[in-house]
Chain A
């Protein structure tokens, strides 16, 4: 590292098996690069440790300001990364350890009190046998579950969605605290105050690959019954895939040529322009890891209708930013209701506004900020002796506090792991690791007066999984964070 000595003391290392220059780079690499970029903007020195790529330097500083260290191949990158971190361990102040099937096992090499966050995208257990011979698959599964459990113990885990969180606990049996932080959405921030260009006639736009499990067939099947109420309905599909010929055949068979457009892949500008004109979007997919396409549609002010299925049910706030429907409900009936609702201009505008505000919470900067707070909190937690650490529970509580109960001139300070969102007229706080009984203790610690805490307008509820993503549609972002012990270790 040729960084100055001052910088050397504040390294945040992101370990990931591939970076953007890798020929078969997938989704997770962009998470680490976007995180790295945001963390650099916050003033940290960031090193991305990743696999070697032919033709790329072993070590370089990118235009975004973070360093990339490339060592080893698909499997040896794990050993190289550990060796690199062992060598520089005394400069490392935080590690983000991406789990792409198996984690990097960085707690083995960094200092005991250096915070390590395992960044978990999804659970691979069932996928190992699909890509590896049986013996290797067994080893992979052992490393993902038992091996990780032994090395990470109670270290904190970042899961990208509540679905991943459930899997990490129930299927991988990991013991650490699991915090849900959804990945950023590129279009989220730029469109908060975007112009609404809704089409004059009802229009549905769906974005997604045309593969069987995305359920595009079901959407086309719903169109004929919708035409009775909405004779000038248009449905647009953006995306390509192996199912395209079959879907085009289906459109011909149902004689929907005037109503259904299958565009195939569009470039992002065309896609965004089309999405902007939609009344709503429909996602009949079997399930997603995290509904990124939902958030993208929301960012253009378009509400999304989907079945209550994995991933989707946690990216839509039912009735606020879209609609979640039960399995037994016919799709056409649900879509008809939604279109009727959207036919009302005022209602549509309110829905569009909430969708935008919801989407605006999921930016890379927001993710990086939460990761940073979590690294701080984790440093504070590790500074305590194991016996004094709080027991980890999977409970969280949502507290809604009317703004007029907030102390005058004094900003209540919640813990770094809590999440505050400004709703309309109220502050909505997600208290992690807190039950409905102890929530009031947390409010007292945050600086609310005893009278305010006893006020019947304060509402306390058990957090549902969607609340872990964010407890409310926010009016504005106001991150309020109380420094915790160990913060200096991370000061940038």
Chain B
């Protein structure tokens, strides 16, 4: 039961053989989302990848919806839906639930992941990897611009705290991941986090299911005005880790009773 959306492309896409649904969660991104969509679409057209971009409005007060609607009039296959529950995790989950293509993924609105990585990721899911995890820390990856001390310290602590859940995965928090659709829907419907730490829960669920996962090195560009607030959202993320641990330790079957 999909809600029917305004644009024609949405209705057609189910028959057009779209290969990848790319979810972009957006919170007041009117400045940055236009160029991001254009860049990704350009790469996809060049590579002959049939892709649909699914923007999830997470409570924007600016003209994000307007920018997306203006783009849609050209030959850019982009849709917009909205999600009341505040938080990146909730927005991504809403987008994944709407997807119809065989592959689904998500990336950030600010081009912190280079569009070419989307294509490399698609090659990996095509060749049978069920989960492709963008990583800023594995061999071959890196930061185009070094990050500030607070962010570095924060992510060091976060990695240390999350290491028992993430296992050998070097970077859970990178904003780019691709999945086989069936796998993604299962992972996201069995996870609950709505905030920035949702990736950890999804990956922990994936490990529990013993899925085939691979890391993809990303050359990352941190954007100066990210909607991640280091202190407020940082603290929230640590609290969310505790929730993941609690939900992961729930014996299977007990979930039905919660």
A458 at the interface (CB under 8 A from B): yes
CA distance A459 to B6 in the complex (A): 5
CA distance A122 to B135 in the complex (A): 44
CA distance A440 to B3 in the complex (A): 8
Q: Which of B3, B59, B65, B69 contacts A393 (CB 8 A)?
A: B59
Q: Judging by beta carbons under 8 Å apart, are B65 and A394 in contact?
A: no
Query: What residues of chain B lie closer than 8 Å to A439, measured between beta carbons?
Result: 3
Q: Judging by beta carbons under 8 Å apart, are B83 and A435 in contact?
A: yes
A462 at the interface (CB under 8 A from B): yes
CB B1 to nearest CB in A, in angstroms, measures 8
Query: What residues of chain A lie closer than 8 Å to B63, measured between beta carbons?
Result: 162, 166, 464-465
B186 at the interface (CB under 8 A from A): no
CA distance A200 to B84 in the complex (A): 52
Interface of B, secondary structure class, is: loop
Query: What residues of chain B lie closer than 8 Å to A398, measured between beta carbons?
Result: 6
Q: Judging by beta carbons under 8 Å apart, are A395 and B84 in contact?
A: yes
A405 at the interface (CB under 8 A from B): no
CA distance A438 to B85 in the complex (A): 11
Q: Judging by beta carbons under 8 Å apart, are B4 and A459 in contact?
A: yes
Q: Judging by beta carbons under 8 Å apart, are B5 and A464 in contact?
A: no
Using A170-B28, A394-B61, A465-B65 as known contacts, say yes or no to A435 and B5 having CB atoms under 8 A apart: no
Query: What residues of chain B lie closer than 8 Å to A394, measured between beta carbons?
Result: 59-61
Interface string of B68-99 (1 = CB under 8 A from A): 01000000000011111010000000100000
CA distance A435 to B60 in the complex (A): 11
Q: Judging by beta carbons under 8 Å apart, are B66 and A170 in contact?
A: no
B123 at the interface (CB under 8 A from A): no
Using A170-B28, A394-B59 as known contacts, say yes or no to A437 and B66 having CB atoms under 8 A apart: no
Residue of A nearest to B11 (CB): A456
Q: Judging by beta carbons under 8 Å apart, are B5 and A460 in contact?
A: yes
Q: Judging by beta carbons under 8 Å apart, are B5 and A436 in contact?
A: yes
A165 at the interface (CB under 8 A from B): yes
B57 at the interface (CB under 8 A from A): yes
Using A393-B59, A464-B66, A464-B69 as known contacts, say yes or no to A434 and B5 having CB atoms under 8 A apart: no
Choose among B3, B5, B6 the residue with the greatest number of A CB atoms under 10 Å from its CB. B3
CA distance A392 to B16 in the complex (A): 38
| Residues of chain B in range 1-22 having any CB-CB distance to chain A below 8 Å | 1, 3-7, 11
B42 at the interface (CB under 8 A from A): no
A210 at the interface (CB under 8 A from B): no
Interface string of A151-171 (1 = CB under 8 A from B): 000000000001001100110
Query: What residues of chain B lie closer than 8 Å to A377, measured between beta carbons?
Result: none
Q: Judging by beta carbons under 8 Å apart, are B4 and A165 in contact?
A: no
Q: Judging by beta carbons under 8 Å apart, are B61 and A460 in contact?
A: no
CA distance A59 to B129 in the complex (A): 78
The interface size of chain B toward A, counting residues with CB under 8 Å, comes to: 24
A83 at the interface (CB under 8 A from B): no
Q: Judging by beta carbons under 8 Å apart, are B61 and A165 in contact?
A: yes
Q: Which of B3, B4, B60, B62 contacts A437 (CB 8 A)?
A: B3
Q: Judging by beta carbons under 8 Å apart, are A459 and B61 in contact?
A: no
A403 at the interface (CB under 8 A from B): no
Q: Judging by beta carbons under 8 Å apart, are B5 and A463 in contact?
A: no
Q: Judging by beta carbons under 8 Å apart, are B59 and A464 in contact?
A: no
CA distance A266 to B69 in the complex (A): 40
A397 at the interface (CB under 8 A from B): yes
A466 at the interface (CB under 8 A from B): yes
Choose among B1, B7, B28, B81 the residue with the greatest number of A CB atoms under 10 Å from its CB. B81
Q: Which of B6, B28, B59, B62 contacts A395 (CB 8 A)?
A: B59
Using A458-B4, A461-B5 as known contacts, say yes or no to A438 and B84 having CB atoms under 8 A apart: yes
CA distance A232 to B4 in the complex (A): 49
CA distance A465 to B82 in the complex (A): 14
Using A165-B61, A393-B59, A437-B94 as known contacts, say yes or no to A460 and B6 having CB atoms under 8 A apart: yes
Using A436-B5, A437-B3 as known contacts, say yes or no to A393 and B62 having CB atoms under 8 A apart: no
Q: Which of B4, B28, B62, B65 contacts A462 (CB 8 A)?
A: B65
Q: Judging by beta carbons under 8 Å apart, are A170 and B4 in contact?
A: no
Query: What residues of chain A lie closer than 8 Å to B84, measured between beta carbons?
Result: 391, 393, 395, 433-435, 437-438
Residue of B nearest to A178 (CB): B61
Q: Judging by beta carbons under 8 Å apart, are B61 and A462 in contact?
A: no
Q: Judging by beta carbons under 8 Å apart, are B3 and A436 in contact?
A: yes
CA distance A433 to B61 in the complex (A): 12
CA distance A395 to B90 in the complex (A): 14
Using A460-B4, A460-B5, A462-B81 as known contacts, say yes or no to A170 and B65 having CB atoms under 8 A apart: no
Using A393-B86, A436-B5, A436-B81 as known contacts, say yes or no to A462 and B94 having CB atoms under 8 A apart: no
Q: Judging by beta carbons under 8 Å apart, are A166 and B61 in contact?
A: yes
Using A434-B84, A437-B94, A438-B84 as known contacts, say yes or no to A466 and B66 having CB atoms under 8 A apart: yes
CB A370 to nearest CB in B, in angstroms, measures 20
Query: What residues of chain A lie closer than 8 Å to B80, measured between beta carbons?
Result: 461-462
Query: What residues of chain B lie closer than 8 Å to A463, measured between beta carbons?
Result: 65
CB A467 to nearest CB in B, in angstroms, measures 9
Q: Judging by beta carbons under 8 Å apart, are B83 and A462 in contact?
A: no
CB B11 to nearest CB in A, in angstroms, measures 8
Query: What residues of chain B lie closer than 8 Å to A393, measured between beta carbons?
Result: 59, 84, 86
Q: Which of A166, A169, A459 contacts B5 (CB 8 A)?
A: A459
Interface string of A418-440 (1 = CB under 8 A from B): 00000000000000011111111
Q: Judging by beta carbons under 8 Å apart, are B3 and A462 in contact?
A: no
CA distance A437 to B59 in the complex (A): 13
Q: Judging by beta carbons under 8 Å apart, are A465 and B66 in contact?
A: yes
CA distance A169 to B80 in the complex (A): 22
Query: What residues of chain A lie closer than 8 Å to B6, measured between beta carbons?
Result: 398, 459-461
16 A-B pairs (CB sep. < 8 Å): A165-B61, A170-B28, A178-B61, A393-B86, A395-B60, A397-B82, A434-B84, A436-B81, A456-B4, A459-B4, A460-B6, A462-B65, A462-B80, A462-B81, A464-B69, A465-B65
Other than the given A394-B60, A395-B84, A459-B6, 15 more pairs (CB < 8 A) read: A162-B63, A166-B62, A169-B61, A313-B66, A393-B84, A394-B61, A395-B59, A395-B83, A435-B84, A437-B83, A459-B4, A460-B3, A461-B80, A462-B57, A463-B65
In the A-B complex, the 7 residue pairs with the closest CB atoms: A461-B6, A435-B82, A394-B61, A435-B84, A169-B61, A464-B66, A436-B81
